Amino acid sequence: MHFLLIYDVSPDYLARRGEYRNEHLRLAWDAHARGELLLGGALADPADGAVLLFQGETGEAAERFAQNDPYVANGLVQRWRVRPWSTVVGEWAASPVRPG
């Protein structure tokens, strides 16, 4: 199953993220190495959020990531949520569905 971790970031996110970026990226690459995080990155034009794609039986890895993320702890992320994503098309779809 796939899960999206969706961040809504503060208006000063770009100005403040440098101080916390290395720790944030370390957490992200560690989650990737464990096979939990597939993709992640900031939204652009405008830079008002970020989306991280996790995989697993539950959304626990995504929730744990957010709870330990320095962007969250230091107020760069104003709101976060984890949403199950029912992927059905593509090479990495969790539940592929082909036309009948």
Tens of pLDDT, residue by residue over 35-49, are 999 999 999 999 999
> Chain-centre distance of CA 35, in angstroms?
13
Omega prior to 46 cis, within 30 of 0: yes
At 71 the pLDDT is: 98
Task: List, in sequence order, every residue forming a beta bridge with 40; answer none if it has no partner.
Answer: 52
pTM greater than 0.85 (yes/no) = yes
Tens of pLDDT, residue by residue over 11-67, are 999 999 999 999 999 999 999 999 999 999 999 999 999 999 999 999 999 999 999
CATH code: domain 2-85 is 3.30.70.1060
Each domain of the chain, given as residue ranges in start order, spans 2-85
